[in-house]
Amino acid sequence: MEWGEIYLKAIIFVVSSPQLLFLIVIGVGAGIVVGALPGLSATMATALLTSLTFGWDIYPAIVLIISTWVGAVYGGNKSSILINIPGTPAALAAAFDGYPMFKLGEASYGMGVATIGSFIGGLFGAIVLAVGAPLVAKIALKFGPPEYFLLVVWGLTAIGSISGKSIAKGFLTACLGLAVSTVGLDIMYGTGRFTFGYVQLKGGIHFVPVLIGAFGLAEALIQIEGRRKISIERKVDVSTLRDYFLAFFKQISLTLRCSIIGSIIGAIPGIGGEVASIVAYDHAKHSVKNPSRPFGEGAYEGVLAPQTANNAAVGGAIIPLLTLGIPGDAVTAIILGVLFIHGIRPGPLFFSQGKSFFAIIVVVLILTHFAMLWLGLIGNRMFASIIKVPIPILMPIVVALSVVGSFAIQNRVFDVYMMLMFGIIGYFLKKEDYPIGPLVLGIILGNMADGELRRTLALYENEIFRAFLTRPITIILIILILLTILSKSNFPKKFIVTISSKFRK
Amino acid sequence: MYLTKISISKEKLKEYITLIIFFLFGVILFVASSRQPGFGQSNQSPGIFPAVVAVIMILTSGFMLIQNIIKHLNKNNDIKGNGVGNMIEEKSHGWELPLTLIIIIVYVLLIGNINFFIATFLFLTTLMLFLKAGNIKKILLLSLLVVLLFKIVFEVIFKVFLP
C-alpha cells in the first residue's frame, strides 16, 4: 500500500471518530492547564493518564496522551509570559521577552503570537515526522558521547550569550547551575557528591524547585519591592487575531527556520524542547535585524521563535521513539511504555509493520495542533485577564503557587526550602543583572554533560583531541560554539577595527 | 584615601562583592572536587566535571574582576553613577522587602509542621494585609477562595499530595 493511501485511510479513521476528536480537544485543554500551572508537568500528566488509560484501546489511549503532551508543551508559555515562571522547562526562553511584554501591557499579544508560533512549529514537526523520520533518525544514531557533550555545551553557550548584556555573567550563572547539578549520588562511583551528610541531598537538587524559585519567587520579590512603579506601567492589551497573524507573516522566514531547528534538535534523544527553544531564541536574536523592540525588552520575535521550536520538537521527538525505540525524554519514555502495554514494539522494524499506526499518529499530531490553535486563542483573553489583578493580591498567590509547585514534584518539603533558597539567590542575581536562564539550564543539562564528558574520556582514553577533533559532527558543533561566543563578544569587532585602521595607515 | 572613599559607588561595590563570591565559590568547588575519590588518578572520578566547572568559574570571575578594576581605575568617575538614585529609591520603602521575606520564610517553615491549607490561608491573609491589598473582609474572602481553588485543582483534580 502506498503512503498516500495509508494517510488517506488514517485521516478518514480519525476524523470519522467522534470519540477520538473529543479526546483530542479534552487532552489539549487539560494539557494547556497543566502546562500553565508551575509544578505540574507534561510528564506528570502523561504518567497519570497512563494509569487512567491502562484498560483502553490503543488509539484512544495514545490520542489522549499525545494531545495532553502537545497542550502541556504549548501551555508552558502562559505562566512564562504572565508571571515569569516557566510552566515547563521548554517555556524558559519564552519568559525572556514574554514577561517584558506582559509588563508593557501586551500579554494577550505575546500569548497570541506564541500560539501561532506553536501551531506552525507543531505542524512543521508533524510534517518532518511524516517525511524525514528515517533520515533524521540516521543522523541522531551517529551521536556518541563527545557529540552529546558538545551539544550540551552549545546549549549552555547559547543561553549564556542570549540572556543579559554580558556573556561572562551568563557563563557564571551557567557554571553555578552546573555545579548545583553535581550535588547528589554519583552514578558511576555510587558515592555522595557535595551532600555534606544530608540524606535529602543524596537525590540531588531537582531543577523544578530551582526554576520556580529563581524565576517565580525572585520575580515576586522584585515586584513587591517596586510595585508602585510597575502598577503604573501595566496597560490593558487590545490586540486581535489579525495582529497575531500579521506578526507571524512579518517573521514567516524566522518561523520556518525555528521550525527546522526545533524538529532537528527534538529528534536528538535526550535533548528535546528545552535546548531547541533556547537555540531558536539565540538564532532569532542574531538573525532578526530590526526586531519590534530590543530582545529582552519585549520583542514579540523573542516569543515567536522559542515557541515555534518548542512545539516543532514534539514531532521531532517522536522520530527516534518510533524508528529506533529510543525515548528522547521522560514523556516519550512514558509513551514508549504505553505502546509496550498495548503490544506495539517501536524500533527499526516498526516502519515495515506499523505504517498505518504511524500515519494515525501523524494525523493526530496535526489535528491536535489545530485544537491547540483554537483553544489557545480562545483562552488567551481569559489568561490575559490576570493583568487586572493588583500586585498585592497577585504576588502572594504566586508565592503560594511556587510553594505548591516545588513541593508537588517530589512530595518533599526539602524542595520548598530549595525553592526559597534559590528564590533569594535569584533575587540578588537579578538585581545585579545576572541572567537566570543559564542557571536553570545548567542544572537541567549538568548531569548529561558530566556523564558524557566522563564517557568520552573513558572511550578515548583521555585523548581529548582525538575525541573532539576527528569526528565531523563534533567539528561542526565546535564551530557552532565558537560562533555563538564570538557573535556576542566584542573581540571580532575590535579585531576588524584594528586591522582596517592599520590598512588605512 | 579620599579617592577610594568616594569613588566606589554602592552599585560598583555590590558588583565587586558578587564577583568575589563567585570567585570564592569556584575556589571552594575546586578544593571540594579535588577531594573526591579517584581525583587525579582516574578519568572517571566524580571530581572531574565539577573541577572543570570550578576552573571556568574562577577564570571568568577573576577576569571580570580584573577588567572591572582596570576600568574603574581608568575612568574613576563613579561618583555620580546610578547608584545614588537607586539608593534613595530603595531607602524610601526598603523595609517592605525584608518583612515580606520574613513572612515568606515563616510560611515555608510552617509547611510540614501544620496543615498546608491552614498555613497558606494564614500566609495569604498576612501578606495581603501587609501589602495593603484591601480591607480585611476582602482579604479574608480572597485567601479562602484561593485556598479552596488550590484544594480543588491540585488535590481533587490532579491528585497531587500536599503537606
Same domain, B110 and B152: yes
Q: Mark yes or no for CB contact B61/A189 under 8 Å.
A: no
For residues B16 and B77, membership in a common domain is answered with yes
Which of residues 426 through 485 in chain A touch B, CB cutoff 8 A? 428-429, 431-432, 434, 449-450, 453-454, 457-458, 462
CA distance A219 to A397: 13
B10 and B77 in a single domain? The answer is yes
CA distances to A148, A298, A302, A392, B104 from A398, in Å: 36, 22, 24, 10, 12
CA-based nearest distance A59→chain B, Å: 23
Q: What pLDDT is recorded for position A492?
A: 58
ipTM surpassing 0.95, yes or no?
no
pLDDT at B161 over 80: no
Nearest residue in B to A409, CA atom: B160
Query: Averaged over B96-102, what is the pLDDT?
Result: 88
B10 and B68 fall within a common domain: yes
B117 touching A (Cβ < 8 Å): no
Task: Record the pTM.
Answer: 0.72
Which residues are registered as beta bridge partners of B111?
B114
Do B30 and B64 have their domain in common? yes
Q: Which of residues 35-74 of A touch B (CB under 8 A)?
A: 37, 39-40, 44, 48
Shortest CA distance to A419 belongs to which of A401, A398, A403?
A403
- Does residue B4 carry a pLDDT above 50? no
Query: Are B8 and B81 contained in the same domain?
Result: yes
Query: Of B85, B106, B132, which residue is a domain's last?
Result: B85
Does residue B160 sit at the A interface (CB-CB below 8 Å)?
Answer: yes
Backbone φ and ψ for B25, nearest 5 degrees, come out as -60, -45
- Using the Cβ of B44 and the Cβ atoms of chain A, whether some distance falls under 8 Å is answered with yes
User: Which chain B residue has the Cα nearest residue A452?
Assistant: B49
Cβ contact (<8 Å) for B43 and A395? no
Check whether B91 has a pLDDT greater than 70: no
Q: CB distance from B79 to chain A under 8 Å? A: no
Domains of chain B: total: 2
What's the mean pLDDT in B42-49? 84
B127 contacts in chain A (CB < 8 Å): 395-396, 399
Within 8 A of B128 by CB-CB distance, chain A residues are 392-393, 396
Contact B131 A176 (CB under 8 A): no
Closest in A193, A221, A393 to B100, CB measured: A221
The ranges of chain A with pLDDT < 70 are: 1, 38-41, 44, 47-48, 50-52, 54, 134-141, 158-165, 227-239, 269-272, 324-330, 347-349, 351-353, 384-388, 487-505
* Residues B64 and B102 reside in one and the same domain: no
Q: Which residue has the higher pLDDT, B50 or A41?
A: B50
Domain boundary pick from B85, B105, B135: B85
Tens digits of residue pLDDT in A279-330: 899 889 888 888 888 888 888 989 999 999 989 988 888 887 787 666 666 6
Full residue range of the structural domain in which residue B150 is found:
96-157
Q: Across the interface, do A186 and B134 touch by the CB < 8 Å criterion?
A: no
- What pLDDT is stored for residue B92 in this prediction? 46
Interchain CB distance below 8 Å, A188 and B44:
yes
Task: Let me know whether B7 and B79 are in one domain.
Answer: yes
B6 and B61 within one domain: yes
Averaged pLDDT for residues B69-84: 61
Residue B163 in any domain: the answer is no
Answer with the one of B85, B113, B130 that is the final residue of a domain. B85
Would B33 be classed as within a structural domain? yes
| Chain B partners within 8 Å of A400 (Cβ) | 120, 123-124, 146, 150
A209 within 8 A of A409, measured Cβ to Cβ: yes
Minimum CA–CA partner of A179 in chain B: B50
In a domain, B90, yes or no: no
Helices within A251-354 (DSSP H only): 252-266, 272-287, 301-323, 330-341, 350-353
Contact B112/A at CB under 8 A: yes
Contacts of A494 (CB under 8 A, 6+ apart): none
Instruction: Please name every residue paired with A192 in a beta bridge, in sequence order, or none if there are none.
Output: A185
The predicted structure's pLDDT at residue A401:
83
CA distance A95 to A97: 6
B80 and B100 co-located in one domain? no
Q: Is A243 on the interface with B (CB under 8 A)?
A: no
Residue whose entry in the numeric block shows the C-alpha cell 500586585: A391
**Which of 180-199 (A) contact B at CB < 8 A?**
182, 186, 188-189, 191, 193-194
Residues of chain B with Cβ-Cβ distance to A416 below 8 Å are: 108, 111-112
Report yes or no on B73 lying in a domain.
yes
Using an 8 Å Cβ cutoff, are A79 and A37 in contact? Answer: yes
The residue of B49, B89, B157 whose CB has the most chain A CBs within 10 angstroms, and thus the best one to mutate to test that interface, is B49
Domain ranges of chain A: 3-504
**Out of B45, B96, B146, closest to residue A397 by CB:** B146
Tell me how far apart the alpha carbons of residues A94 and A298 are, in angstroms, rounded to a whole number: 10
A341 touches chain B (CB under 8 A): no
Q: Are B96 and A224 an interchain contact pair (Cβ–Cβ within 8 Å)?
A: yes
- Do A71 and A28 touch, CB atoms closer than 8 A? yes
In this complex, do B49 and A450 lie within 8 Å of one another by their Cβ atoms?
Answer: yes
**Residue B57 scores a pLDDT above 90:** yes
A171 to B60: CB separation less than 8 angstroms, yes or no: yes
Q: Give B-chain residues touching A390 at CB under 8 angstroms.
A: 133
- B6 and B81 inside one domain: yes
Least confident of A270-274, B12-16, B112-116, B132-136: A270-274
- CB contact at 8 A, A158 and A282: yes
The answer on pLDDT for B89 being more than 60 is: no
Q: Using CA atoms, how far apart are residues A126 and A322, in angstroms rounded to an integer?
A: 13
Do B78 and B110 lie in one domain? The reply is: no
- pLDDT, one tens digit per residue, over B119-158 is 999 999 999 999 888 889 999 999 999 999 888 877 887 6
